Amino acid sequence: MVSPAIAFAFIPFLMTLVIRYRYYFLLFWRAVVLRKVQDYVTGLSREERAFHYVMSNCIPGDPENILGTFDEWCFHSEYLSNLGPEKGRILERLIYENAPQTVLELGTYCGYSTLRMARTLTLNARLYTVEMDERNAAVAEKVIRMAGFDEDTVEQIVRPSDEVIPQFREKFEVDKIDFVFMNHWKRCYLRDLQLLEDYNLLREGSIILADNVIFTGAPHFMQYAKSCGKYGWKIHRTHLDYFRHIRDGMAELTYTGVK
């Protein structure tokens, strides 16, 4: 049995731990505890709850307003792992600067980053967005169409990414992909990057932008990108979506094809 003196000795340590990591505790509360309570009470997923809020408060056909309504929900109601405004601006800038004609998004989630990219595309460019979770894909499909983007601009594919990539050229008649945005399961980043290479879907100069490479991190993906000799790379240092006190980053890779 622990004596009271020893127990009291740990109090300053515990207080220091709580203060130092308070934002991580807050993230856990909002993303896990509150989510489970709300799931039980409402019978809806948090993504569906967010969609109902957005649908009730946004202006259909106005992507900027829809994005802002999503941000309002995420800042003040429940946490969603959307891209958020800070990272969203980086994504849009890269789309604008590189003017890709063919974009592949891995991880549609609720369609937030899809809208960010779709509204920045040049004329006749096309975005293919892949989501394996059928419930999230259903939400994203409604969001994308509510924003005014048709299937000629944005096509959603509801399948696992490792099934889509090998069949991508044959099914969608796409020779090369100009821009890839990865925001799905971090453990899949390296696998899917190598699939893109194996099926010769990247051209010299293709951009791969990968989110959350600092929090929660994708170490094997980054180690490969730095050491394989096929990519130029840099890190955009940012913060976790809707948590400005938690550091995060996005990795921008440029495919050179050099081994």
For residue 122, which phi and psi values (nearest 5 degrees)? Answer: -80, 170
pLDDT in tens, 35-65: 999 999 999 999 999 999 999 999 999 999 9
Let me know if residue 25 belongs to a domain. Answer: no
Question: Poorest-confidence range of 24-33, 70-79, 168-177, 195-204?
Answer: 24-33
Let me know if residue 241 belongs to a domain. Answer: yes
CA 55 to chain centre: 21
Predicted local distance difference test score (pLDDT) of residue 6: 59
Domain at 230, CATH number: 3.40.50.150
More confident of the two residues 88 and 32? 88
Count: domains in the chain? 1
pLDDT in tens, 68-117: 999 999 999 999 999 999 999 999 999 999 999 999 999 999 999 999 99
Predicted local distance difference test score (pLDDT) of residue 109: 97
Tell me if 126 sits within 8 A of 155, measured CB to CB. Answer: yes
The model's confidence at residue 13, banded by pLDDT at 50, 70 and 90, is low
pLDDT at 138 over 60: yes
Predicted local distance difference test score (pLDDT) of residue 230: 96
Let me know if residue 63 belongs to a domain. Answer: no
Let me know if residue 191 belongs to a domain. Answer: yes
The model's confidence at residue 22, banded by pLDDT at 50, 70 and 90, is confident
Predicted local distance difference test score (pLDDT) of residue 3: 63
Structure tokens of 12?
A: 């300053």
Let me know if residue 73 belongs to a domain. Answer: no
Tell me if 139 sits within 8 A of 59, measured CB to CB. Answer: no
Let me know if residue 2 belongs to a domain. Answer: no
Of the candidates 184, 241, 209, 236, the one whose C-alpha atom is nearest the C-alpha of residue 70 is 241
More confident of the two residues 166 and 31? 166
By residue range, what is the domain housing residue 243?
84-255
Mean pLDDT for all residues in the chain: 93
Q: Give the pTM.
A: 0.93
Predicted local distance difference test score (pLDDT) of residue 27: 86
